[in-house]
Structure 1
Amino acid sequence: MDCGGLDIGGTKIEARLFDAGLGTIDTRRVPTPRDSADGFFAALGGLVGWLRDRSGTDLPIGIAMSGVVEPDSGIARTANLPISGENMAARLTEVAGRPLPVMNDSMALAFSEANGGAADGHAAAVGMIIGTGFAAGVCLDGRPARRPGGIAVEIGHCGMPARALARHGLDLWTCGCGRPGCIEAYVAGPGLTRLAAHMGLGKITAPELAARAHEAAAEAVLAVWADLAAEALETLQMTIDPEIVVLGGGVSQMPGVVERLQAALPARLMPGTPLPILRLARHGDASGVRGAALLARMTAQGEMPWRP
């Protein structure tokens, strides 16, 4: 059975058509409309139409997006898209003819990688996106963990431990959510850029920083970043205790990022705490949209016992 997925980010929406084996048949991308909910849902409707035309069938289609959809009300809550407060089922019915299953993008990453990906066969798997934002999702025995509020593992909006800030002489930086000291403010891509500026390198992106890792100043920034990211991993390990953490997102594509985190994490863990396996997403930047398509197919087949 063909299936489709929509991966909604702050800058683009990607539609991807998959075959029965979850191999990619075709993709299409459009800029994410940010001025109004009407424009946003019109763009979704256009991509749903493209998937149906390309497949030739009214195929199952799932959505991965940042933020949450409240399970009982169906109301979207997201800081990066112009749809907070919108009823997803009602609006999707307007543009697609029926509701479409919606999953947080970090949960979609975890779901994809736990089913034919880097976390396949692991009972407790976390998918962690390190990109413009910083968030995670969790799957148990290959299925998204049930959460009454629909919240993913929003570790990026937990507070960075004071001990970590003190180690590196860092102040409370304001997060995009408006609160001070969130982990995301230091570890996500913009946080890494801000860290580099704070340490005297000026405004520099993660890829540019990685390309200069042979320089002592750039290496010092990356070492501090890895230590701060390890604090976030320690929080995950002490609360969820995953066997494996799969990394996705643009920052995870820096050369050697897994090795850096593997080296930094033991010093942050309490003695005796098991180290999780760290791996890059097997399906790369297509993993989230693959998870959304898998959700749609399993929902259509009656294999999902609850809304993720």
Structure 2
Amino acid sequence: MAAMICGGIDLGGTKIEARLFDGPDAATTQLRRIATPRENYAQMLAALVEQIRWLQQVSGRDDLPVGIAVPGIIDPETGGVFTANTPARGHSIRDDLMAQLGRPFPVVNDCMAFALSEACGGAGDGHRTVMGLILGTGVGGGLCIDGAIAPRAGGLAVEVGHVGLPASAMARHGLTPRRCGCGRLGCMETAVSGTGLANIAEDILGTRIEGADLVRGGHEDILEIWADIAGECLLTIQLMLAPDCIVLGGGLSNMPGVVPRLERALERHALRTMKPTRLLQARHGDSSGTRGAALLARR
């Protein structure tokens, strides 16, 4: 990967993180986080501009390539963002930054940015088709083919978190279908995300226990139920997209032994003649989505 300085910004519901990347591996050299203004869009946009200007200042370059990773669906025609976690809903960050700063800044779905980062100098390096799967508060995915973000109609990332949970999986574990944040009942996210892991604990144990406490408490029964359902999610990805590898990110990907646990689950569910796809842990951790946005801007 050719060395070239670039910047990335991760627009989240609680913080706006700016990172400066440099060197042949696009490593972080500077980092700054500020709180995400949630009162209105104008304040949030002003905070984004502040982070861009900080990146320009520390890099010494007014023409610094800067990409912005955001959660949700980004309409490829209008640039409109549809997300539940920030005041950006319905606004075009792309067009508004262009109006204020006079040049383009690519805006990309955070899961697609994560996949790009891991496909280019990350855990998926050397693989043609790389699926990035975020297992965090929610569940989302991105897809890269030959080192580039795969074209997706309508601005959708790989929205596997909103695929329906298999009824057979819910029945064999005695789980209750729950309403997802998207409004649908029984989405994959309601059992496979960090929130979903706590949902499983509540159904099985009768009390709500967060993921980190479940791991510390050695609740193997709960973790195995979660892995079994996550295996169904992985199978769905493999059947639909057949990637060379699936790179895991997000908080749940940091659980001890998570890759072999999920490998066993996927192998149980895989079709008899199908070789399970390779599972890998993200190389760039929490910075990967920001790094992917920076790589996109650098191009």
How many Å separate the matches in 2 of 1:208 and 1:181?
Answer: 24
Q: Is the 8 Å Cα contact of residues 3 and 20 (structure 1) preserved in structure 2? A: no
Structure 1 unaligned runs (5+)? 299-308
SS in 2 for 1:228: helix
**Distance of 1:166 and 1:186 partners within structure 2:** 13
Give the structure 2 partner of residue 117 of structure 1: 122
CA contact (8 A) 1:130 1:187 kept: yes
Q: CA deviation at 1:63?
A: 0.8
26-35 or 42-51: which moved more?
26-35
Residue aligning to 1:15? 18
The answer to whether the 8 A contact 2:124-2:130 is kept is yes
In structure 2, C-alpha distance between the alignment counterparts of 1:30 and 1:205, rounded to whole Å: 26
Does residue 278 (structure 1) correspond to residue 279 (structure 2)? The answer is yes
Runs of at least 4 residues off by over 4 Å = none
What's the offset of the Cα at 1:254? 1.0
Distance 1:31 1:199 in 2: 36
**Kept after mapping to 2: 8 A contact 1:123/1:140:** yes
Q: Is 1:232 matched up with 2:233?
A: yes
Corresponding position of 1:302: none
The match for 2:136 is: 131
Residue aligned with 1:265, SS = helix
Report deviation, 1:96: 3.6
Letter in 2 for 1:18: F
Whether 1:34 and 2:35 are equivalent positions in the alignment is no
Q: Tell me how far 1:90 sits from its aligned partner.
A: 2.3
* Alignment check: 8 A CA contact 1:4 1:293 kept: yes
Alpha-carbon shift at residue 91 of structure 1 (Å): 1.7
Q: Which amino acid aligns with 1:52?
A: Q
Could you tell me the TM-score, scaled by structure 2's length?
0.95
CA distance in 1, matches of 2:239, 2:168: 16
Identify the residue that residue 298 of structure 2 maps to in structure 1.
Answer: 297
> Is residue 248 from structure 1 mapped to residue 218 from structure 2 by the alignment?
no
Number of matched pairs: 294
Distance 2:101 2:277 in 1: 41
Alignment partners' CA distance in 1, 2:206 and 2:15: 29
What are the residue-to-residue correspondences of 1:1-308 with 2, within 5 Å?
A: 1-21=4-24, 22-58=26-62, 59-200=64-205, 202-213=207-218, 218-298=219-299
Deviations 1:240-288 (A, max 9, x none): 0011000001111111111110111111111112211111100111111
User: Which whole-Å CA distance do the structure 2 matches of 1:80 and 1:166 have between them?
Assistant: 32
Letter in 2 for 1:13: I
- The answer to whether the 8 A contact 1:68-1:104 is kept is yes
Q: Distance in 2 between matches of 1:11 and 1:188?
A: 18
Give the partner amino acid of 1:117.
G
- Partner Cα distance (1:188, 1:32) in 2: 23
Per the alignment, in what secondary structure is the counterpart of residue 163 of structure 1?
Answer: helix
Q: Which runs of 5+ in 2 are unaligned?
A: none
Tell me how large the CA RMSD over aligned residues is.
1.2
2: CA distance between counterparts of 1:98 and 1:39? Answer: 20
| TM-score, length of structure 1 as denominator length | 0.92
| Shift, 1:6, TM fit | 0.3
| 1:48–1:96 contact (8 Å) kept in structure 2 | no
CA–CA distance in 2 between the matches of 1:201 and 1:97? Answer: 55
